[in-house]
A = this chain, B = another copy of it.
Amino acid sequence: MEKKVVSAMEVARLANVSQSTVSRVFTPGASVSEKTRQKVLKVAEELNYQPNALARGLITKKTNLVGLAMKDIQNPFYHEVLGIFTKKLRAKGYSVLFVYTENEEIQQEEINHFLEYNVEAIIVTDALLSSNVVKKLQNNNIPVTLFNRYDKNLQCHSVSCDNISAAKEIAAYVYEKNYKDIVFITGKLNTSTSRDRQKGFTDFLTSKGLNVTTLEGDYTYDKSFHLTKNMIKNGHTPEVIFGANDITALGALDALKEAGISVPDETVVIGFDDIKMSSWPHYALSTWVQPIEQMVDETIHLLALDSDSSGPQTVKLKGHFIHRETTK
């Protein structure tokens, strides 16, 4: 049994109409009389006919495909992002061509796959693009949005949480509580998220005359766990640990617990993202909630509105602090 393809032509034959008419039945807004519409739909139903998206895309240039590239990391935050993206895009009639990438930068080859399929837009999450790739995409006139990343040298849209001001608010809380011994554990240094959270946090506190000890992490649980463990072993148990994201904070939190340090009494721990795990009773991590849904909405909005391309836009959303049991 070979591949059975039911084409509009066959439906047309059985329904005694032309192929054009069949096409029109499946094209919203086209002119077909109700009588023939029903006739065609009946035959189509019987034959299990479905318009071929490839042929359709070929002629209309509307593929209804969106390319989504994501870096392969452990952070559950991005899994939630992925879920929300696929749901919302699907609701708008788009299908998602998905790529996991292991590199910090999306590679040419991966973008090429997107281009081959004429995706209408590309969303890059937790990764970057080289500027010549962006240029190539601009040539092809396909809009790109960086999600939760930005790079001012890149000519593409960007949607993220306003990390700097969020971190400032966290810093304000720390300052207000009069803590003095403060540690910030970074994520990967080449990410804008980590840099901005560090900047907002540190700038505010130094402006108040406070010193922030910075430990260089890499957004993994393990690294953060060991950094904290070593710090404690060396006799330094700070009053505050702010992790560049939740995973980082959880690593620190576990290290503190293992060392028998009481949280939040001896040390306060704060994260960033609000992943599901952070609300688990064992952790009950106080953290900054990123407005994921809203961020996704904005991203999709940006891509849809691209026609009136008034240049690359940068959207920053706020989010809010949620106090659970690792702060007082």
Contact = CB atoms under 8 A, between A and B. Distances in A.
B139 A53 contact: no
Interface residues of A, number: 56
Nearest to A113: B95
A16 interface: no
Contact of A140 (B4, B90, B97, B276): B4
A176 interface: no
Contacts of A3: 61, 140-141
Contacts of A57: 54
A55 B52 contact: no
Interface in A252-299: 254-255, 257-258, 276-277, 280-282
Interface in A54-73: 54-55, 57-58, 61, 63, 68, 72
Nearest to A75: B79
Contacts of A4: 139-141
A275 B99 CA distance: 22
Interface string A40-55: 0000000010111111
A235 to B, nearest CB: 21
Contact of A100 (B50, B72, B86): B86
A202 interface: no
A58 B118 CA distance: 14
B55 A83 contact: no
Contact of A282 (B55, B96, B139, B254): B254
Contacts of A251: 280
A3 B141 CA distance: 6
Contact of A54 (B99, B118, B139): B118
28 contacts: A1-B141, A4-B139, A4-B140, A5-B61, A52-B58, A52-B116, A53-B116, A53-B118, A54-B57, A54-B58, A54-B118, A58-B58, A72-B83, A72-B87, A76-B79, A79-B79, A83-B100, A86-B99, A90-B99, A90-B113, A95-B97, A95-B117, A96-B97, A96-B98, A97-B98, A254-B280, A255-B281, A258-B282
6 interchain residue pairs of minimum CB distance: A98-B98, A53-B116, A254-B282, A86-B100, A54-B54, A53-B117
Given A53-B116, A54-B57, A87-B100, 19 more contacts: A1-B141, A2-B141, A50-B112, A50-B115, A52-B116, A54-B55, A55-B58, A72-B83, A74-B276, A82-B100, A86-B99, A90-B99, A95-B117, A97-B97, A98-B98, A222-B280, A225-B281, A254-B282, A255-B281
